[in-house]
Amino acid sequence: MFTGIIAAIGKVESLQAQGGDIRLKVNCQQLDLSDVKLGDSVANNGVCLTVIAMDNSTLSFDVSRESIERTSLGSLKTGSPVNLEKALAVGERLGGHIVSGHVDGLGSVVSMQESARSVQFRFEVPEGLERYIAEKGSICIDGTSLTVNNVADNWFEVNIIPHTMQETIMSTYQVGTKVNLEVDLIARYLERLLPNKQAVGITRETLLENGFIR
């Protein structure tokens, strides 16, 4: 599990084909690796990956065909920046929201507009994913926990403050950039638990009937 608070920006050192998969090696010089060991989970652009090799400044991961097809990791190149976050440790502050590192779909940057000192981003979302995104709810973009400011049928907007622009890869985004999206866990599981969810949708009355609220 992760929080969506980016700890460092890494840089892709190499990408090697491995029988249809990819061996990804990332320079993590800005990330404290003192408590990282083989087998640990580290989020790369919001994708939970397992450390399979490491040294003083680099971590290596095997990226499966599933991850290549469902995320933006397949488009990485040598030198590409990546958002890095180590797995959440029990007892730490939960600064963002609960993030699994399992990408739900690929979004894309539709527009970027200055808003005072912030930048307002609009992202297009894949069909079917928009129902899990709510105004003032949480969304994870390339591993970054953000608050949704506005949402419509096939897009949503977030405002990015200068600190987030500086400490994540969002400063490299352009119109058309593909991003990894993970919706809020509660929204996914709540829909799964509700009967006849496709017929009635998630309403206040449905929540009352099924005991989720009083």
Q: What is the pLDDT of residue 213?
A: 66
- Name the residue ranges covered by the structural domains of the chain: 8-86, 105-190
Q: What is the pLDDT of residue 199?
A: 45
Q: What is the pLDDT of residue 20?
A: 86
Q: What is the pLDDT of residue 185?
A: 86
Q: Do domains 8-86 and 105-190 have the same CATH topology?
A: yes
105-190: CATH topology is Elongation Factor Tu (Ef-tu); domain 3 (2.40.30)
CATH of domain 8-86: 2.40.30.20
- CA distances, 101 to each of 6, 16, 31, 115, 148 (Å): 13, 22, 18, 30, 19
Type of residue numbered 102: H
Q: What is the pLDDT of residue 192?
A: 77
Q: What is the pLDDT of residue 92?
A: 77
Q: Using CA atoms, how far apart are residues 54 and 121, in angstroms rounded to an integer?
A: 35
- Ranges under pLDDT 70 in the chain: 195-204, 206-207, 211-214
